[in-house]
Amino acid sequence: MPASPLLRPWTAADAPALHAAFAADPLLEHQLGCRLDDVGQAAAYLEANLAGSLQRRSFAVDVDGAAVGNIGLTAIDPRHQSAWVSYWLAPSVRGRSLAARGVAAAADWALGEGGLFRLELGHRTNNPASCRVAWKAGFQPEGIERAKLRYGQARFDVETHARLASDPVPDIYPLPLQSPGPSTS
Ligand SMILES: CC(C)(COP(=O)(O)OP(=O)(O)OC[C@H]1O[C@@H](n2cnc3c(N)ncnc32)[C@H](O)[C@@H]1OP(=O)(O)O)[C@@H](O)C(=O)NCCC(=O)NCCS
């Protein structure tokens, strides 16, 4: 029987799956700002960007034992108790509400055990699926930032959303989450 999807910390063994996800959707490189052309590049990216630290927590979306997406908390600011949320899924697992359930789980963790108060995210205004993910995970829209992102030669307006610890908990079933535990670096 297939295992239920969950969120867990990334491990070095996930490098081939990370490479496969990016090979399946070349547009994902715009989100990362770099290319992952082989497993070696994926391994280096994983070690540099997806390992936990005081400023960053990244959760692999695990489906049947394979890492097929990421829910990231970056720019963690203990002073203001805030962080930036990002997310992507491999094309093979899209259309199953996994991103919204994953973002909701990571937000619950960050606003609880993680000790944060305000979580922010932004999506290109021409990315309605991402906007829907934000809404479903309890992130309310806050406004448009004009021409904020540059993907290749094109610039994109971005709608920002935020979820506060004091906001209502969204009516969604969060993915189970394996706590990453305390960070030491
Ligand atoms: C954005 C992304 C994470 C969403 O993945 P997902 O969880 O599989 O999302 P779903 O396909 O389940 O769609 C989420 C919601 O958006 C809706 N949606 C999808 N495409 C849509 C479209 N073109 N217009 C309007 N709504 C749309 C779906 O109907 C769904 O709503 P529902 O749950 O109320 O039915 C995924 O498409 C992805 O990884 N894209 C590339 C990376 C990216 O854009 N990341 C976000 C950057 S801000």
- Residue 21 CA, ligand 1 centroid: distance in Å: 16
Domain count across the chain? 1
Instruction: Give the ligand 1 atom nearest the CA of 131.
Output: 16
Which domain range does residue 34 map to? 6-164
CATH for 18: 3.40.630.30
Note whether residue 156 is domain-resident: yes
Contacts of 70 by beta carbon, 8 Å cutoff, 6+ apart: 10, 50, 58, 59, 60, 61, 86, 87, 88
98-111 helix and 128-136 helix, angle to the nearest 10 degrees = 40
Note whether residue 115 is domain-resident: yes
Note whether residue 114 is domain-resident: yes
Q: pTM of the predicted model, to two decimals?
A: 0.96
- Per-residue pLDDT tens digits for 125-149: 999 999 999 999 999 999 999 999 9
Nearest CA to ligand 1 atom 34: 132
Is the four-CA dihedral 86, 28, 41, 24 of positive or negative sign? Answer: positive
- Residue 18 CA, ligand 1 centroid: distance in Å: 20
Note whether residue 172 is domain-resident: no
Note whether residue 184 is domain-resident: no
Nearest-angstrom CA–CA distance, 157 and 43 = 32
- Per-residue pLDDT tens digits for 79-124: 999 999 999 999 999 999 999 999 999 999 999 999 999 999 999 9
Contacts of 7 by beta carbon, 8 Å cutoff, 6+ apart: 59, 60, 61, 62, 71, 102, 105, 106, 175, 176, 177, 178
* Pocket residue to mutate for ligand 1, from 27, 97, 149, most atoms within 8 A of Cβ: 97
